[in-house]
Structures are given as structure tokens and as C-alpha cells.
A and B are shown apart, each in its own frame.
Chain A
């Protein structure tokens, strides 16, 4: 029950507060379009079941699509991120960590460098897919790559900050 409450909190911070109310209200540049909601999927427990990952990824994507009026774009990309998360974890964290850990991925749990590698790779793929799909053409590849780089960097920061909020909270309670 406590875990469910924690993840409702993660969802509220990443997908609602950061994504909808903070980043969506900022109009800094055409390249600035962070995807903070992906933090919810990336911060699900390391040992989360694949089907659970898929369904929660689907729900997150639908939520963002409805509130941003993007009609399936974020659902499609978030589903891929949820589906491929285990491979990204195996690649960046190693099989041992993936099979042993059961908690929320964080710098505290995995170490700063490993956590950053994991989040950065997942966000990079997510952002590239999202902006490529949105562009619907390979003609603007430079623009898509720049947008993925700028928005991806801010997204990584947002995911890190979200995990930090809930790691600190856990430490205080313990």
C-alpha cells in the first residue's frame, strides 16, 4: 500500500506537476519540450513485472496524450520505453543489479554514475522516438536531434530530481 502511495506521488510529480504545469507553461524555445512524465515509467521498481510495466506505460501515455492533445504520440513512445526498459537496465546496470534489486531506481540505490547512464540512455531513446514520430519526416533530422538533445537533458534532470524527492522522503522515514 505504501509503495502504491509512493508511486502515485511519483506520477503526480513527474506527469502532472512537472510535465503539465511547469514545462508545458514554459515557451522558451522550439527545442524546449521536456518529457518529464517518462520519469514515472523509469522509476518503477527494478523488478516490476513486464505486463505491469506495459499497462502503466500505456496509462501514462494516454494521460499525457489527453492532456496535451497529442492523440497517441506519447502513448506509442511510452509503451516502447516501458517494453524496452529491462534491456536498457541490463545494458547500463548489469544483470546482477537488475536481478537482485527490487526498489525504485535512484542514485542512492545504484550509484550516481550508473543511475545517470540508465536514465540518460532511456530518455535519449524516448526523446528521439517521440520527436521523430512527431516530425513525421527525416527531412528535419538536425532539428529533431537538437530538440532531443536539449529536451532530453532537461528531462534527465527532471527524472533525477523526482527520484531525489522520493529517496529523501524514504530516508527521513527510515
Chain B
């Protein structure tokens, strides 16, 4: 017994190390994107105020760029409106407007914290449930390009999974075709994501537009993701791996728009009830879509949620919330 005590006294440091190391590695290996988002909500409640001040300063410095983006967006929307006015009289437009329904609620939020240097990047915003933010809302840049989705919203803040998160999945469609696949970030270039599982007989060309397909927990169809940069055929898998240059510059995000995908919240709630989890299903949202390929994917009405000159005007800010 004495020898055992002597032995333990000699090796207690390595034993403590192994115990704590095992604990840390086990927690790291078993943690999901939801665990990490929960931790960030906690941290945001403690030091969110400091980040908010830093973000305000950054926002002030980048006001010129933000204003230019907004001016460009207004110019584009005015162009679309003018095109409609040429085709219809004011009375006709009024009658059309009266029949329109606005399925997507929009909330505008400021980015408080953001990262691109990790494998799992998150974006913290300064709007929460009190402002109409709900888990599962799509997050787009100010010019309507895909950025991520809300993972967890607290009362005044929300944590979003960035498209630059290796756990992120979305369903992407090659615009103008019926070919779709799974969008993910390989973890290398912060301007490039990958669209996989697109059948090799699809006609793809550099510069083709990729939009969200609508087979999605989080994203309404037609949100602009990016353009085809490179693509290679995987003979054995009979599909394309397509590098897509992102439309949104995630590193310089200052303001984002949150778009509610009707029914998403209910689906998430249902999944939570069925699976007994307290967060939206694993970030592989494409599991909710039909298997990728060319089945009967509905073609998006728009090339880009806001980017196409030929698209009918969309309701942009039905309930834009400002603090």
C-alpha cells in the first residue's frame, strides 16, 4: 500500500494530465455546431458589449462601402420598378400589389463578431428574438447573397452558422437548369465554396450562376450563392465537384439581412420534438431535400434573389426592424 502511494505520488501529474486531456478531447470530439453556438451565446452575454463597441467603430469606418452597396441596390431595384412601370399602368400595378402576399419576413442586423480563420466560423449579430429573429432564418448579405443561417437566437443577439463553416450544408442549384447538389465549405479559400453531387451530364460552364434550390430548412429558393469558378468530374462518382466563387465577401460583412423561410421554424421545432434535441438538426440541411441530382427540382423564378434585371420585384423589407 505504501509503495502504491509512493508510485501515485510520483505519477499523479501525468495521471491528472491524462484525465483532463481525455475530458477535453472527448468534449471536443462529441461537440456539435449547436454546442459551439450555445457557448457563443453565453460568451456574447458576458462580453457582447465590448464586441458591440468594436463593431460600431468598424461599422463607422466602413460606412462609405456600405452606402455604396446600398446605393447600388437601390439603383437596381429602381431599374426593376421602372421596367414594371413601362409594362403596366399605375392602376394595374396597384391591383397586382393588392394581390401579392409576402411570405418572407426580413430583419436587418449588424454583425458584431465574425471570423474566417477557423474551420468552424460563426457570425454574431445584434438582433435577437425581441427583434423578430428566429432560429433557422436565412442570413444574406446586404445585396442578397447567401451568408449563413441563424443557429441560436437569444433575446437581443443571435449566433449564425457562417457559410465558411465546415459543418454548413445547403442545397444549391445551377441556375437555368434542374441540376442541384450540396453546398459546403472545404475549409480552404474564404471566397470559394464547393457544390458537389451534380451529375456529370449536367451542362456546366464557368461563370454559371448558383442559387439556393429551395430544398432547404433555412433558405428560400433563388438566393444567390455565387458563380462557377472551376469544376472537375469525378468519374467514379459520376458527378461534378464545382468550385463556386461566393457572391458575399464574408470577411468584410458589416450588415446582414435575415430572411424567414416559411415553415422552417415549424420543421425545426418538429425535429427537436422528434429527435429530442434542443437545436435545429445537424447542419446537414440537405438531408431534408430529395437526394441531389436532377430529379424534379423546380427552377428558381429568379437568377438571384435580387440580382437579376429581368425578375419581378420582390418584397425587400416587409418588416425591416431597426433598433
B17 and A30 contacting across the interface, CB-CB below 8 Å:
no
B20 and A66 contacting across the interface, CB-CB below 8 Å:
no
CB < 8 Å: which of A21, A32, A133 contacts B50? A21
Binding-face segment, B112-120, B235-243, B291-299: B112-120
B21 and A79 contacting across the interface, CB-CB below 8 Å:
yes
B117 and A135 contacting across the interface, CB-CB below 8 Å:
no
B13 and A54 contacting across the interface, CB-CB below 8 Å:
yes
A24-B115, A54-B17, A80-B21 given as contacts; is B187 within 8 A of A72 (CB)? no
* Residues of the A chain whose Cβ atoms lie less than 8 Å from the Cβ of B29: 72
A33: interface (CB < 8 Å): yes
A27 and B251 contacting across the interface, CB-CB below 8 Å:
yes
A80 to B28, CA, bound (A): 15
* Residues of the B chain whose Cβ atoms lie less than 8 Å from the Cβ of A80: 21
A76 and B28 contacting across the interface, CB-CB below 8 Å:
yes
* Residues of the B chain whose Cβ atoms lie less than 8 Å from the Cβ of A79: 17, 20-21, 24
A140: interface (CB < 8 Å): yes
Interface bin, chain B: 35 or more
A162 to B189, CA, bound (A): 32
Main secondary structure of the interface of A (DSSP, over half): helix
A65 to B110, CA, bound (A): 24
CB < 8 Å: which of A29, A58, A61, A69 contacts B40? A69
A76 and B54 contacting across the interface, CB-CB below 8 Å:
no
A-B contacts at CB below 8 angstroms, number: 105
A30 to B186, CA, bound (A): 12
A27-B115, A29-B117, A30-B189 given as contacts; is B50 within 8 A of A71 (CB)? no
CB of B52, distance to nearest CB on chain A (Å): 12
B65: interface (CB < 8 Å): no
B322: interface (CB < 8 Å): no
A69-B43, A72-B31, A140-B187 given as contacts; is B37 within 8 A of A31 (CB)? no
B16: interface (CB < 8 Å): yes
B118 and A50 contacting across the interface, CB-CB below 8 Å:
no
A65 to B21, CA, bound (A): 14
B43 and A71 contacting across the interface, CB-CB below 8 Å:
no
A residues adjacent to B (C-beta < 8 A)? 20-21, 24-25, 27, 29-33, 50-51, 54, 58, 61, 65-73, 75-76, 79-80, 83, 133-136, 140, 143, 147, 151
Q: A27-B252, A79-B17, A79-B21 are in contact. List 12 more A-B contacts (CB 8 A).
A: A29-B116, A30-B188, A30-B190, A54-B16, A71-B31, A72-B24, A72-B31, A83-B13, A133-B28, A135-B119, A140-B187, A143-B188
Lowest 7 CB-CB distances: which A-B pairs, in order? A72-B28, A71-B31, A33-B117, A72-B27, A69-B40, A75-B24, A76-B24
23 CB < 8 A contacts A-B: A27-B115, A29-B116, A29-B117, A30-B116, A30-B117, A30-B188, A30-B189, A30-B190, A32-B117, A51-B12, A67-B47, A69-B37, A69-B120, A69-B122, A70-B36, A70-B39, A70-B120, A71-B36, A71-B39, A72-B29, A75-B20, A140-B188, A143-B188
